[in-house]
A and B are shown apart, each in its own frame.
Chain A
């Protein structure tokens, strides 16, 4: 306990006054010669001991009165709960929820405004010399500053300038980041304050999160104090678009794309006749109306097509009046391909129609051209003989190269192909009767350019009894997912009469076997080879299509021939979409994704500038426009023959547009989980439980936090209580005096 007016405490010496008076009274007494002694003596005799006891009690009470008065004037402060000196600086990390749900309004005020006000109030009250940092939890935990600042005013100014609207918060990651930051700070007193709306979605598996955080805190050398401050309140009646679904297959100009929007009404009241609008590149394309019953989800389908190749943004928006506008729209990036160049290297060229090894492939890839239709094929094929100048063809950088029944390559051609693949090329190797499997195994498989080793030929062309069929399972590979819909064709109807056994070098079982044998090196080797994926199998278990990623490129190996010699695939109606899907997927899947999650990097590949490529420096300049409208400049890094541009600041959901020097734009759309669209928040009980599990405390308001902090620093002033005690003692003195004079007779 300390005293604010310590000098006044000397007033307690006034306690001597009653004692002195008592002594003086006893020494300077009056003498009276008394007649009625028999009355006096009987009173004194009966009550002698009690008089003495009561005198002591009265004396004690009278002594206590000046002591209490002096104590009251001295303004005592209880410092029993004080944990540090009043002006000791603090290391503080504020986790500020910047997720899009904080844009919800309650009582006409945006929750994020309340959060910012709370954070500023707390930070402004920190003592001079405190080090402060703020971590935004929206999307991915992101510190607001590179280093903690010691200037609280600067921190407040910076906080005032930020906005919410980022992706859903991952509180586990955010708390981890906050504790890690605190661990590196310098002051003895450490505070971690979480300011959020505390939606249940952010704390899914909260018990585990809480346990993990508590364990982390307990393991820290200097344990920080965790505080949870909830802003805003539960709001009902929000409508959101949860996702857009559309096909991932490559699209060409004029090709139709069906966009399915999933809408959900989180409210208890129906939203009738809500307008749902499809926009392409910001222009309204079509409109539909939906009725959303309470607590239900619905879908609406928009067919659309694109007139121009390149990167486009489709956006679906539902026009309703609800507390949270951010989630009323959902966007996606779509790439429309102008033309995919495919080089067909024919290993068995024949002048007769449909007799050559690549004829069926060529027809399948360019059906409109073959049928002389007005529609434009997405794929443009070029067929060359295996005796042509393949080096020049590879240098032309076709999107896909098909080796159809090619006996073998020269070493130079092999090297050229390897360079092509590693720089992002795609090669489809089709088997056939002319290929030299031994050469393939020796020169390609051994160099890692072949997904699987060619084994023995299986089946017989003229013996249907030995034929095999494709297993019509659910295909995981994007190139074959088209056939998961039975209406697009049943691959199992095709008859594969002859094929090569493909020895996939390492699948998971082989790694496990190697581990079981104790051969860890072999297991590691198998692990590296596990980039090989079996896309489809025959019903006897042999792989039919095997894919392997090599560098930036990919190689797909087909166990049977591409023409109709070994199978009747080309005779099947689904041969065209099969080959189209396979080739276009190979051509496009190597481009980085344009629809990303918030926090994931946006990566774009641009053709290398010939001039800059000469010196190998990556000085390709790209600008990017982020969702809040600001423009940033990015530098590229050279990767193979291309320039790669990477942007990591995608925490805010929305459209990011990269523009290259040649004015071509690439759109990225960062999306986040729409779990936060359900604007329910943890109620007081759940929040207290969470805080208890985390060994944290809940704060009702910034004022409550500051009051608590003030108590921790300065203790509690108790002069009011002392004053009450003083009055009580004065009253007690009166009562005792009256009571004690009522003596037994």
Chain B
């Protein structure tokens, strides 16, 4: 049986301890074929796959394309014209370093697992997603950092571009357990101050909490000119509320918060409330030009991330 062809960096990555615990070979195989491309030009300190704002520096050929009237004459590849008797334009792409910071929600609500999520809690799903993204970013020589938080920041690993930095991130992810309540707004405000340089901020969370406060915090990030990418993690149970018999729901974050209800009676109201919540969140993100990607733990997280990155590339 022949598996996917791996890039040399992938073989290096797989040789590292603990990484295989988090990512399967199949997952890694998929990621090495993808390119994480930032939507906007972010200031970088080293050349990479990303466009640089500094012109004439570190230019790399990308591809030929058919000449169309209006293109500059100087960009015509005359060698190709000599060979093929057709006019082609040479296209170049400048690359720069990307500083990405992954903010991972470790609050109690992320500890929920339903019957359809293969035993994975939302938190498990989130750390795998974070590991994937870290690997991909480091593979592209981008800097990546990790912040775990609940009501406050629990750990902070500043962005680094060294390959060994992945080990530090994986170690931290492995240690993280969901607990306590969530206070996204305060944490995010705090992180805006900590992340001095512009870059990509990746938030992996269920975003449960005060929505207005949250949107203000996200706006704060945008105000600091960070690129925002949010993976909102859902369990399928939270999306369709499949419960039938009488159920006592206990809060994962706060003790003594429990409600005995007839799920059939409140299901529709819950779903309406959920739809309202998601609509409000989506609208808020769109308003601040933040990319919001809902993800469900019953779908392969690697597929979801890959689909999103593909979407980013097409949007360029």
Interface of A toward B, CB cutoff 8 Å = 25-26, 28-44, 47, 51, 54-55, 737, 740-745
Contacts and interface: CB of A to CB of B under 8 A. Distances in A.
Contacts of A745: 269, 272-273, 276
Given A31-B250, A36-B238, A741-B267, 17 more contacts: A25-B246, A30-B246, A30-B248, A33-B249, A33-B252, A34-B252, A35-B108, A35-B238, A37-B109, A37-B249, A39-B273, A47-B266, A55-B262, A55-B265, A742-B268, A743-B272, A744-B269
25 contacts: A25-B246, A26-B246, A28-B246, A29-B246, A29-B248, A30-B245, A31-B250, A33-B111, A33-B250, A34-B112, A34-B252, A35-B108, A35-B111, A36-B206, A36-B274, A37-B249, A39-B270, A39-B277, A40-B259, A43-B270, A51-B261, A51-B266, A55-B265, A743-B269, A745-B272
Interface string B99-135: 0000000001111100000000010000000000000
Given A31-B250, A37-B257, A40-B259, A54 B238 contact: no
Interface string B201-235: 00000101100000000000000000000000001
B227 to A, nearest CB: 28
B262 A44 contact: no
B24 interface: no
B247 A29 contact: yes
A32 B250 CA distance: 6
A25 to B, nearest CB: 4
Contacts of A26: 246, 260
A364 B276 CA distance: 133
Nearest to A34: B249
Given A30-B245, A33-B250, A36-B208, A54 B259 contact: no
Chain B interface residue bracket vs A: 35 or more
B43 interface: no
A34 B266 contact: no
A63 B208 CA distance: 41
Among A30, A33, A741, the most chain B Cβ lie within 10 Å of the Cβ of A33
B265 A741 contact: yes
B239 to A, nearest CB: 9
A35 B122 contact: yes
Interface string B8-35: 0000000000000000000000000000
B110 A35 contact: yes
A54 B268 CA distance: 15
A44 B260 CA distance: 10
Nearest to B209: A38
Contacts of A55: 262, 265
Nearest to A40: B249
A43 B277 CA distance: 12
B92 interface: no
A25 B111 CA distance: 27
Given A47-B266, A743-B269, A745-B273, A31 B248 contact: yes
Interface in B259-298: 259-262, 264-270, 272-274, 276-277
Contacts of A743: 265-266, 268-269, 272
A547 to B, nearest CB: 109
A47 B262 contact: no
Given A43-B269, A44-B261, A741-B264, A36 B109 contact: yes
Contact of A43 (B109, B235, B273): B273
